A and B are shown apart, each in its own frame.
Chain A
Amino acid sequence: MTDLLSIQRLTKAYPGVVANDDVSFDIAPGEIHALLGENGAGKSTLVKMIYGLVKPDSGKMELFGKPYAPARPSAARTAGVAMVFQHFSLFEALNVAENVGLGMETPPPMRELAREIREVSHAYGLPLDPRRLVGDLSAGERQRVEIIRCLLQDPKLLIMDEPTSVLTPQEVEILFATLNKLKAEGTSILYISHKLEEIRALCDRATILRRGKVVGACNPRESSAAELAEMMVGEALHTPDRAPGERGEVVLQVAGLTSQHVEAFGTRLQNIGFEVHAGEVLGIGGVAGNGQDELLSALSGETLGPRETVRLRGKPVGNLGPNARRALGMLAAPEERLGHAAAPDMSLTENAVLSGWQREDLTRNGFVLWGKSRGFAETIIQSFDVRTPGPGVAARALSGGNLQKFVIGREILQRPDVLVVNQPTWGVDAAAAAAIRQALLDLAAGGAAVIVISQDLEELMKVADRFAALNAGHLSAPRPTQGLTMEQIGLMLGGAHDMDVAHTDEAHHIKESYEEGRQ
């Protein structure tokens, strides 16, 4: 049997980095093929070449034995290649049917398209109402929109880029059922991920990428997670030391925290309450878009609330802005490095002043002491092994991992009593991630209260003493991480509802409206 897609010696270089170096592998018809690699291994570039978004510098591809060189995504779609994106492909202000239509070559009239969406989404256990605005959907539902968009075009090859990063464990199960059904119908799936357990559960074959090169191929069902991890990372991982933390008195109390104003398509925090002790790491998990940004803003002081909602060592600070909270020892590091935690076009020295001028005494009578500020930036660079030519470099010139080390280091070096971090290792390579986690643990060991908001459950299990989950703006009661099962975590993430979405009221509602439409 000829291969569905054969990739031969693809190479793509960007200035300063070879994203893909002589990459070759094949995808057989009706198989789920995993593309495994760390962030920055070159998976996304490879996929973009297959989907016609990027042109390879050299090498070729064959689809069904015929040369395949899509000049643009529409050519790829016509040839039978469809893709579900990790980010950036939905329009929040448009409805589901419009979003689906935009991704198709020759969409039928809207009315008919809406019918098809109901039909297909139902058939695959992913119910969707075509009239709803995408901005109002949950992350899981948004992904369904993308999947349905692909399925309506009857693809031969479906590319999925990190599909489960936004899903709860229960939603992942539904997705896997859908993918297995597709596979049974003869559709091949190229499944990109860095999550080993998923790949072992789902995929027939795996190709492993490291720094742009294929470093191995295997049957993931027959390999252990450890073997896969070693191939992916190329070295043994440095797992953080866990000095059993001495739990001190309560440092931070949050009670009745509810968003008063919500941005368009934002999430409203609903009556959030928790306590963090000195020397403790509280992990807050949850799927993206469930209120993480809003929670960080409420804790950093970027959004203000009633005085009593946030207390630091008993002192109400809910109505204080970021600088006032910093002065009291409450610091934060937001998720978005460029444009939130740091100003992209400003130098590292200036970015050190950004949040450090108060506690590090970098001003005199309102005038910035640039020499001292430069010194602070240099200290951060040294202490946290930030790879950069010097503190005069613009923040955007740093790689994600290095900038993240700088941002976290900037806050930690200010000796906070409370530190709140959001997605501290997102898009960061394994070595830097391990270093950042260790720094957070050290900080807690030194007596600070640390809150880690993350979507990465493995990470939270590694660093957190207690775990709580955010779901649609609600926070579950924190539980000790020791002894927590995946099942329990999943229920917490899902808001402790029955998460088998295909059988919820909503699914029934959609089914009914579909029945009506047919009559």
Chain B
Amino acid sequence: MIRLEKRPTPSRFWTWSTPVLAVLLTMIAGGLMFAALGKNPFIAIKTIFYDPILGEFAFYYRGQLLVKAGPLILIAVGLAMGFRAGIWNIGAEGQYIIGAICGAAVGLAFYPAESWIIFPLMIVAGALGGLLWAMIPAILKVRFKTNEILVSLLLVYVAEQLLAAMALGPLRNPEASGFPGSRNLQQYPSAANTEIIPGTGMHWGVAAALIAVVFAYVLLSRHLTGFHIRLAGQSPRAARFGGVNPTALVVFCMGVSGALAGMAGMFEVSGPAGQISIDFNSGYGFTAIIVAFLGRLHPIGILMAGLLMALTYIGGEAAQATMQIPAAAIQAFQGMLLFFLLGLDVLSNYRFRLPREGVA
């Protein structure tokens, strides 16, 4: 049997090369999956990873890249902060939905008034909505020691029902004669999340994501709070000894990740999605978990991982359109990626040893 042996110091080389290796292995395993579906694996991989950036229709896809990556990065940066501290906010999808509802509600409340203040107010409302939704598991955890994983996740299902209720009830477009869904915010200039540079997909949410990356990077590597977050995640008792207040940390991490997810939802509803509808959410909150891990819970890593994951979305759509590869295959593909990554993680903390002869 091969034995595992703990490295005295984590390997920096493997810490950063495992994500690359994981992507390669996922391409191989994904290729096998596509082959099993009766598709040419090489063309499929090329369609997903190459065509959107450098292919014939790349001019269309490139803009989509930022549109998809923006929310993923924004959410993942927040989640990573909590994961680093050992606080598992798994319900970003719910906070994303509530952020969208709150942001849209504020915008719609002003309709049809026009003012520059409306959009910033919507951002604040979106962030607050996500924050408050995340405060439910946070407060239950600090007050009653309730498991935040289960609570934040169950709240996703509550948020989905709430979304449906809003789309059918209070936020329904009164002029749409009974159809579910709100007014389209894209057609309401003061509330529309427009592209900052037309044609690039660079909307305000993408800008927010980039700012979040920079802030998170500075916080984690330079600030005492970031140090305490890392400390608490690595060894809770040492953190207590170092004077870290666990309650404050839970509230901070859940709050930040909730607010960022809420903002992501708000940018989405006022931008690419345009309106509150029953099926508004598309799983960004869950995919962001993969992005966070793929990016090694590191803000810069998350930036790259978010772009890569966005690529699989867009490439997946392309593959769906041109090769009839089902959307679900892409979802499975993303799941695989996380598996490979987690499995390969062992390389950064352990090394494999073949035992000498004659000894089992």
Question: Is there a contact between chains A and B in the complex with CB atoms less than 8 Å apart?
Answer: yes
User: Per a CB cutoff under 8 Å, which of B8, B242, B359 touches A55?
Assistant: B359
Whether a CB of chain A sits under 8 angstroms from the CB of B235 is: yes
Looking at the assembled complex, report how far the CB atom of B354 sits from the nearest CB atom of chain A, in whole angstroms.
13
Which of A343, A366, A393, A396 is the most central at the interface, judged by chain B CB atoms within 10 Å of its CB? A343
Whether a CB of chain B sits under 8 angstroms from the CB of A255 is: no
Whether a CB of chain A sits under 8 angstroms from the CB of B225 is: yes
Tell me whether B243 and A397 are in contact (CB under 8 A). Answer: no
Whether a CB of chain B sits under 8 angstroms from the CB of A518 is: no
Number of A-B contacts (CB under 8 A): 76
Looking at the assembled complex, report how far the CB atom of B326 sits from the nearest CB atom of chain A, in whole angstroms.
41
Tell me whether A397 and B241 are in contact (CB under 8 A). Answer: no
Whether a CB of chain B sits under 8 angstroms from the CB of A266 is: no
Contact with A along B1-28 (1 / 0, CB 8 A): 0000100111000000000000000000
Which of B223, B225, B227, B359 is the most central at the interface, judged by chain A CB atoms within 10 Å of its CB? B227
> In the assembled complex, which residues on chain B have CB atoms less than 8 Å from the CB atom of A334?
237, 241
Whether a CB of chain A sits under 8 angstroms from the CB of B356 is: yes
Q: Which of A123-131, A238-246, A277-285, A318-326 contacts B (4 or more CB under 8 A)?
A: A318-326
Which residue of chain B has its CB nearest to the CB of A344? B235
Which residue of chain A has its CB nearest to the CB of B239? A343
Known pairs A339-B237, A341-B241; A57 contacts B224 (CB<8 A): no
Interface positions, chain B 218-232, Cβ under 8 Å from A, are 222-225, 227, 230-231
Whether a CB of chain A sits under 8 angstroms from the CB of B234 is: yes
Tell me whether A15 and B359 are in contact (CB under 8 A). Answer: no
Known pairs A55-B359, A57-B359, A366-B224; A302 contacts B240 (CB<8 A): yes
Whether a CB of chain A sits under 8 angstroms from the CB of B54 is: no
> In the assembled complex, which residues on chain A have CB atoms less than 8 Å from the CB atom of B324?
none
Whether a CB of chain B sits under 8 angstroms from the CB of A111 is: no
Whether a CB of chain A sits under 8 angstroms from the CB of B360 is: yes
Tell me whether A394 and B10 are in contact (CB under 8 A). Answer: yes
> In the assembled complex, which residues on chain A have CB atoms less than 8 Å from the CB atom of B211?
none
Looking at the assembled complex, report how far the CB atom of A456 sits from the nearest CB atom of chain B, in whole angstroms.
22
Whether a CB of chain A sits under 8 angstroms from the CB of B245 is: yes
Bound CA–CA A74/B234 (angstroms): 36
Bound CA–CA A251/B272 (angstroms): 66
Q: Which of A75-83, A183-191, A352-360 contacts B (4 or more CB under 8 A)?
A: A352-360
How many residues in B have their beta carbons less than 8 Å from beta carbons of A?
Answer: 24
Bound CA–CA A344/B233 (angstroms): 12
> In the assembled complex, which residues on chain A have CB atoms less than 8 Å from the CB atom of B154?
none
> In the assembled complex, which residues on chain A have CB atoms less than 8 Å from the CB atom of B234?
343-346
> In the assembled complex, which residues on chain B have CB atoms less than 8 Å from the CB atom of A326?
243
Looking at the assembled complex, report how far the CB atom of B214 sits from the nearest CB atom of chain A, in whole angstroms.
15
Bound CA–CA A367/B225 (angstroms): 8
Bound CA–CA A444/B146 (angstroms): 45
Bound CA–CA A350/B222 (angstroms): 11
User: Per a CB cutoff under 8 Å, which of B5, B10, B224, B241 touches A345?
Assistant: B10
User: Per a CB cutoff under 8 Å, which of A71, A321, A346, A367 touches B222?
Assistant: A367
Looking at the assembled complex, report how far the CB atom of B341 sits from the nearest CB atom of chain A, in whole angstroms.
19
Tell me whether A367 and B356 are in contact (CB under 8 A). Answer: no
User: Per a CB cutoff under 8 Å, which of B230, B242, B360 touches A355?
Assistant: B242
Interface positions, chain B 78-123, Cβ under 8 Å from A, are none
Whether a CB of chain A sits under 8 angstroms from the CB of B150 is: no
Contact with A along B230-262 (1 / 0, CB 8 A): 110011011111110100000000000000000
User: Per a CB cutoff under 8 Å, which of B5, B241, B359 touches A302?
Assistant: B241
Known pairs A57-B356, A367-B223; A354 contacts B231 (CB<8 A): yes
Bound CA–CA A221/B225 (angstroms): 60
> In the assembled complex, which residues on chain B have CB atoms less than 8 Å from the CB atom of A341?
238, 241
Which residue of chain B has its CB nearest to the CB of A12? B359
Bound CA–CA A394/B9 (angstroms): 6
User: Per a CB cutoff under 8 Å, which of B8, B231, B241 touches A346?
Assistant: B231
Bound CA–CA A345/B242 (angstroms): 15
Bound CA–CA A301/B240 (angstroms): 9
Tell me whether B237 and A336 are in contact (CB under 8 A). Answer: yes
Whether a CB of chain B sits under 8 angstroms from the CB of A363 is: yes
Known pairs A340-B235, A344-B234, A394-B8; A353 contacts B241 (CB<8 A): no
> In the assembled complex, which residues on chain B have CB atoms less than 8 Å from the CB atom of A336?
237
Bound CA–CA A278/B241 (angstroms): 24
Tell me whether A393 and B241 are in contact (CB under 8 A). Answer: no
Which of B9, B10, B231, B360 is the most central at the interface, judged by chain A CB atoms within 10 Å of its CB? B9
Tell me whether B238 and A342 are in contact (CB under 8 A). Answer: yes
User: Per a CB cutoff under 8 Å, which of A323, A343, A393 touches B238?
Assistant: A343
Tell me whether B224 and A367 are in contact (CB under 8 A). Answer: yes
Whether a CB of chain B sits under 8 angstroms from the CB of A290 is: no
Looking at the assembled complex, report how far the CB atom of A128 sits from the nearest CB atom of chain B, in whole angstroms.
32
> In the assembled complex, which residues on chain A have CB atoms less than 8 Å from the CB atom of B235?
338-340, 343-344
Which residue of chain B has its CB nearest to the CB of A354? B242
Bound CA–CA A302/B239 (angstroms): 10
Looking at the assembled complex, report how far the CB atom of A392 sits from the nearest CB atom of chain B, in whole angstroms.
9
> In the assembled complex, which residues on chain A have CB atoms less than 8 Å from the CB atom of B230?
346
Known pairs A57-B356, A368-B222; A339 contacts B9 (CB<8 A): no
Looking at the assembled complex, report how far the CB atom of A303 sits from the nearest CB atom of chain B, in whole angstroms.
9
Whether a CB of chain B sits under 8 angstroms from the CB of A267 is: no
Bound CA–CA A368/B228 (angstroms): 11
Contact with A along B323-360 (1 / 0, CB 8 A): 00000000000000000000000000000000010011
Tell me whether A322 and B241 are in contact (CB under 8 A). Answer: yes
Which residue of chain A has its CB nearest to the CB of B243? A323
Bound CA–CA A216/B206 (angstroms): 73
> In the assembled complex, which residues on chain B have CB atoms less than 8 Å from the CB atom of A350?
227, 231
Whether a CB of chain B sits under 8 angstroms from the CB of A476 is: no
Bound CA–CA A346/B239 (angstroms): 12
> In the assembled complex, which residues on chain A have CB atoms less than 8 Å from the CB atom of B240?
302, 322
Bound CA–CA A339/B237 (angstroms): 6
> In the assembled complex, which residues on chain B have CB atoms less than 8 Å from the CB atom of A368?
222-224, 227
> In the assembled complex, which residues on chain A have CB atoms less than 8 Å from the CB atom of B242?
322, 354-355
Whether a CB of chain B sits under 8 angstroms from the CB of A300 is: yes
Bound CA–CA A366/B240 (angstroms): 18
Bound CA–CA A340/B234 (angstroms): 11
Tell me whether B227 and A353 are in contact (CB under 8 A). Answer: yes
> In the assembled complex, which residues on chain B have CB atoms less than 8 Å from the CB atom of A338?
235
User: Per a CB cutoff under 8 Å, which of A57, A71, A344, A355 touches B241?
Assistant: A355
Interface positions, chain A 281-336, Cβ under 8 Å from B, are 300-302, 321-323, 326, 332, 334, 336
> In the assembled complex, which residues on chain B have CB atoms less than 8 Å from the CB atom of A322?
240-243
Bound CA–CA A322/B223 (angstroms): 19
Interface positions, chain A 57-78, Cβ under 8 Å from B, are 57, 71
Bound CA–CA A321/B245 (angstroms): 9
Which residue of chain B has its CB nearest to the CB of A322? B243
Contact with A along B194-224 (1 / 0, CB 8 A): 0000000000000000000000000000111
Which of A322, A326, A344 is the most central at the interface, judged by chain B CB atoms within 10 Å of its CB? A322
Tell me whether B8 and A339 are in contact (CB under 8 A). Answer: no
Bound CA–CA A339/B8 (angstroms): 15
Interface positions, chain A 381-417, Cβ under 8 Å from B, are 393-394, 396-397
Q: Would you mind naming 17 contact pairs between A and B with Cβ atoms under 8 Å apart?
A: A55-B359, A71-B360, A302-B241, A323-B243, A326-B243, A336-B237, A339-B237, A339-B238, A340-B235, A340-B237, A342-B238, A345-B10, A355-B241, A355-B242, A366-B223, A367-B222, A367-B223
Nearest 5 CB-CB pairs, A to B?
A: A323-B243, A397-B8, A322-B243, A394-B9, A339-B235
Beyond the given A345-B10, A354-B242, could you list 10 further A-B residue pairs with CB under 8 A, ordered by the A residue number?
A57-B356, A302-B241, A321-B243, A326-B243, A340-B238, A341-B238, A350-B231, A354-B238, A363-B224, A366-B225
Residue positions of B touching A, CB distance < 8 A: 5, 8-10, 222-225, 227, 230-231, 234-235, 237-243, 245, 356, 359-360
